Structure 1
Amino acid sequence: MRRIITGHNQAGKSVITIDGPPARSIGEDVGGLFEIWNTDGMPIDTTDDLDRADAEIILSPPANGTKFRYFQINPTPEGVPWEVLQDAAAEAFERIGAGHHRIDTSKHPAMHKTETIDYIILLKGDVSLLLDEEEVRLEPFDTVVQRGTNHAWVNHGEEPALLIAVLIDSELKE
């Protein structure tokens, strides 16, 4: 995974300020989150060389902020007891400051709900979006607009699935 981040030099000319892999990643043992870029709602100085993705990985963006990331989902190993999957998911969500987003995991251990609008594209793999009352199977390049609903992702394939997501902090009404 390669990120190319642009900016301006002191003469106001456009330049590449970062060319390399994601600044941070977490949870590679279960697929992982790979941070590309974050905003916090504050003005951005395009002449700085600050890597806005080089910070602690938290699931949701800050107030008025955004998160841009890859996430990868490994297939669920067969024969793992439900309780073990629940414990693993709980630990994973705690590691990214999102334990409180797991409101109803009765349908799947990774079910969660955030106060965000998410734009998600499946790049490769065989994945379903699981909701409280529905499930939809995705094909590569299908796009989901996730509007703050309780959801999880399920990998049906034998290889990791790769998705890209933009999370935007939002005030949602149900």
Structure 2
Amino acid sequence: MRAFRRIVTGHDRDGRSAIVEDGDCPHVEITADATVVNLWLHEGRPDNADGYHDPVGPGVPLAPPARGSVLRVVEFPPRRPGTAPYVHRTESLDYAYVIDGEVHSVFDSGETLLRAGDVLIQRGTNHAWDNRSEVACVVLFALLDAEPLDPAEDGMGTGPAATSP
């Protein structure tokens, strides 16, 4: 995966806006299914007046922290023959923006093909990412902690399932 430049702003000692960090994001994790660059993370309500410290550390979990969020870039390689995509669910509201390539987002009942420029709003659903192409797919994710979901009571299952074209 290519490096992602991370520029973080803050304030100098006189309260003026300033760049406090500018460089390649060092938080890269390689898993069996993807390469993940965790760009930013916060717990609770962010405090922009705090002095700067890098809030991302090693081993950031898939879900965002309680009342927090995480911003990351994920590169999904083409699926290896004989492997199944990783089905998972987080208690979060996720915004996914496809930067490059294409990937299928697979649900309990249906799937859709996402291409560069597409945005998916994921609301606590079971899902998997399945790259059936021959090139890597890069997706920017913003995950926001959300209230736990009871699928039997949320009314989300009333619409038609999305299918790929």
TM norm structure 1: 0.78
Aligned-partner Cα distance in 2 for 1:13–1:121: 32
CA gap 1:143/1:156 in 2 versus in 1, 3 angstroms: same
In the TM superposition, residue 45 of structure 1 has moved relative to its aligned partner by 4.7
Please provide the CA RMSD for this pair.
Answer: 1.7
- Which structure shows the bigger proportion of residues in helix conformation? 1
CA contact (8 A) 1:23 1:53 kept: no
TM-score scaled by length of structure 2? 0.82
Give the Å deviation of 1:69: 0.4
Deviates further, 18-27 or 136-145: 18-27
Q: 5 Å matches for 1:4-43?
A: 4-27=7-30, 30-43=33-46
SS at match of 1:138: strand
Number of aligned residue pairs: 147
Unmatched 5+ residue regions in structure 2? 152-165
Structure 1 gaps of 5+ residues are: 86-107
Mean Cα displacement is larger for which, 44-53 or 125-134?
44-53
SS at match of 1:150: coil
> What is the CA-CA distance between 1:24 and the residue it aligns to?
1.1
Letter in 1 for 2:35: G
Please give the alpha-carbon distance, in whole angstroms, between the structure 1 residues aligned to 2:92 and 2:22: 28
1:89-138 deviation per Cα after TM superposition (whole angstroms, max 9, x unaligned): xxxxxxxxxxxxxxxxxxx4401011000000001112111111111011
Q: What's 1:69 paired with?
A: 72
The amino acid across from 1:26 in the alignment is E
- The letter of the residue matching 1:14 is S
The equivalent of 1:115 in structure 2 is 91
- For residue 68 of structure 1, report the CA deviation from its aligned partner: 0.4
Residue correspondence of structure 1 range 1-174 to structure 2 within 5 A: 1-27=4-30, 30-46=33-49, 48-78=51-81, 80=82, 85=83, 108-171=84-147, 172-174=149-151
Identity of aligned residues (%): 33
Q: CA deviation at 1:23?
A: 3.1
Question: Runs of at least 4 residues of structure 1 off by over 6 A?
Answer: none
In the TM superposition, what whole-angstrom CA distance separates every residue of 1:7-50 from its partner, at most 9, and x where no partner exists? 11111111111111223121266431101000100442545220
> Cα–Cα, structure 1 residues 150 and 29, in superposed 2: closer, same or farther, change >3 Å?
closer
